Amino acid sequence: MRTIYWFRMSSLRLHDHPALLAAAEGSSCLYPVFCLERRIATPYGENRRRFLLESLRDLDAGLRSLNSRLIVLDGAPEVALRAALADWSVDRLAYQLDLASAESKRSAAAVDALAEAAGVQVLARGGHTMCDLDALLRRAGGSPTTSYAPFVKHFEAEVRAAPIVARPAPSRLPPVGGEATAADDAARAVPAPADVGLPADADAAVLVRGGESAALARLDEHLQRRGGAWAAEMEKPATSPMALEPFGAGTRSTTVLSPYLAFGCLSPRLFYTRLAAEAYGRHPKHAMPPVSLHGQLLWREFFHTCAHGTPNYERMVGNPICRQVPWGDDKELLAAWAEGRTGYPWIDAAMTQLRREGWIHHLARHAVACFLTRGDLWQSWEKGAAVFEELLLDVDPALNAGNWMWLSASCFFYQYFRCYSPVAFPKKYDKDGAYVRRWLPALANFPAKYIYEPWKAPIADQKAAGCIIGKDYPKPIVAHDVASKANMAKMAEAYAAHKEGGGGGASKASATPTPKRAAPAPAKKTKQAKLK
């Protein structure tokens, strides 16, 4: 049997990879391929392209240690694999399922059709999630639940029926056929940074490296922190969105394993089972879902199940679980938010970190997403999700769309009257504004008293800090108190229309204008949104 193994953007690892193990079994020849459109600019941001190349290099090194190698084919899967199926006269094509997005399902369906037309057998197995998502959907009665508590019950029942097991990496792989490795060997190697439009110094200030080896090392590091006690006790709301070194072992941040889970460099089952054995098993007084680390992996599984079972999940229109809200459409507001120039230092610092490093803490994501949508700017969650898709390292369409629906109170979370204040919220974590000073150098010398509301500083203080508001740093783009109140009223209208319309379909709410560039009012304490 001659088999092509298709590594996808979400399966770049050797450990716990049932589809790869099944592909190796009974194959005399195995062609491990990855399809990359290297000559055209990829839609991913720089951080993500660099992470991808590092992951491919690491995967290639791992395969070489098993007497194999990675063959990088040029082009989209449905194009590149058509030629490979014919050139290598294979009998079988294998890959890991990825049900997180309409695009990953479309791409797999196109590849399946190619194989079928060529008379090639297809072998697809799960592994991107902990459970079989169809089995979880069946436990929910066929369509996904949008509440966490019942989902956990379905998950636990499923795990009792089919326990979570993480399998080791293969100890050897069948050889690669000669026709794939001969004359054009170099052309099929992992490309250089310039081939995917990366600058030569793309590696310079990188804090999170791609690849399975880096993923496993980071997992070890977390599980070894205080003999497993850190991971056992970790409760998400107690972590800080403003840890200055989110990637170090001693910080108050979260694990930063998300890029590895998204790219499939780390198996969620390995993470789950090792956590159970090495953290919870040794520290019986451990944290519990929804706030524990296991709870975080359950949130991941929850959103994957929702994405798999919901038509048009990544859009508002035609999405049966999403409230129809008449969002505004203002390119200027969107650009100011995306480029970190809203005049609200906490929001701008978080968006700057996101652009620079490709990762921000969950609560920073909460704050910027709330600000863009129902909080302040009244722009569509889909536009915010698209910006995240460009900037995030850990892009996962199921998690991205799901969390954006949550934060915009379009689904999952409905207390739209609970809103993050861009001034009061960050003060709880970082009174002196060290995080803002780090990411927004213009404000580095601002007095702590005004760090989250610099427009309020007397002009003498602005001069002394070397930063004049309106010249060196923007004035606030909207007045938070005015905008958030007006937006709550618009949300109330959208919710009422939703109720009137029987809970689905298009909204009857009218699009009211967004109050913008109004004079900022003094910040008042607003109720904070509930954390997960």
Give the residues lining the site for ligand FAD (CB under 6 A).
Answer: 236, 254-258, 261-262, 296-297, 299-300, 303, 361-362, 365-366, 369, 388, 392, 394-396, 399-400, 403-404, 407, 532
Shortest distance, position 395 Cβ to ligand FAD, whole Å: 5
Shortest distance, position 385 Cβ to ligand FAD, whole Å: 7
Q: How far apart are CA 395 and CA 43, in angstroms?
A: 12
Q: Write down the H helix ranges in 65-97.
A: 77-87
Shortest distance, position 520 Cβ to ligand FAD, whole Å: 25
Q: CB nearer to ligand FAD: give 180 or 307.
A: 307
Q: CB nearer to ligand FAD: give 236 or 498.
A: 236
CB atoms within 10 A of CB 109: 11
Q: Are 42 and 51 in contact (CB under 8 A)?
A: no
Q: CB nearer to ligand FAD: give 173 or 234.
A: 234
Task: Output the CA–CA distances (angstroms, integers) from residue 39 to 17, 192, 445, in the order listed.
Answer: 29, 11, 45
Coil, strand or helix at 95: strand
Write down how long the chain is.
Answer: 532
Shortest distance, position 60 Cβ to ligand FAD, whole Å: 25
| b/e burial code for range 176-187 (CB count within 10 A of at least 16 → b) | bbeebeeeeeee
Shortest distance, position 3 Cβ to ligand FAD, whole Å: 30
Q: CB nearer to ligand FAD: give 38 or 300.
A: 300
Q: Are 210 and 53 in contact (CB under 8 A)?
A: yes
CB atoms within 10 A of CB 283: 17
Q: CB nearer to ligand FAD: give 90 or 265.
A: 265
Q: CB nearer to ligand FAD: give 396 or 481.
A: 396
For residue 520, give every residue at least 6 positions away whose Cβ sits within 8 Å of its Cβ, in sequence order, or none. 453, 455, 475, 476, 479, 480
- Residue 438: name the closest of 350, 337, 343, 365 by CA: 350
Q: Are 507 and 326 in contact (CB under 8 A)?
A: yes
For residue 225, give every residue at least 6 positions away whose Cβ sits within 8 Å of its Cβ, in sequence order, or none. 231, 249
Shortest distance, position 224 Cβ to ligand FAD, whole Å: 16
Coil, strand or helix at 469: strand
Of all helices (H) and strands (E), which one includes residue 3? strand 2-7
Shortest distance, position 523 Cβ to ligand FAD, whole Å: 23
Phi and psi dihedrals of 470, rounded to 5?
Answer: 100, -15
Beta bridge partners of 73: 35
Shortest distance, position 418 Cβ to ligand FAD, whole Å: 15
Q: How far apart are CA 340 and CA 467, in angstroms?
A: 16
Q: CB nearer to ligand FAD: give 17 or 365.
A: 365
Dihedral (C-alpha) 266, 381, 294, 6: value to the nearest 10 degrees? Answer: -20
Shortest distance, position 302 Cβ to ligand FAD, whole Å: 7
Q: CB nearer to ligand FAD: give 256 or 333.
A: 256
Shortest distance, position 357 Cβ to ligand FAD, whole Å: 12
| b/e burial code for range 62-90 (CB count within 10 A of at least 16 → b) | bbeebebbbbbbbbebbebbbebbeebeb
Q: CB nearer to ligand FAD: give 21 or 360.
A: 360
Q: CB nearer to ligand FAD: give 71 or 369.
A: 369
Amino acid sitting at position 129: T
Q: CB nearer to ligand FAD: give 98 or 394.
A: 394
Shortest distance, position 326 Cβ to ligand FAD, whole Å: 20
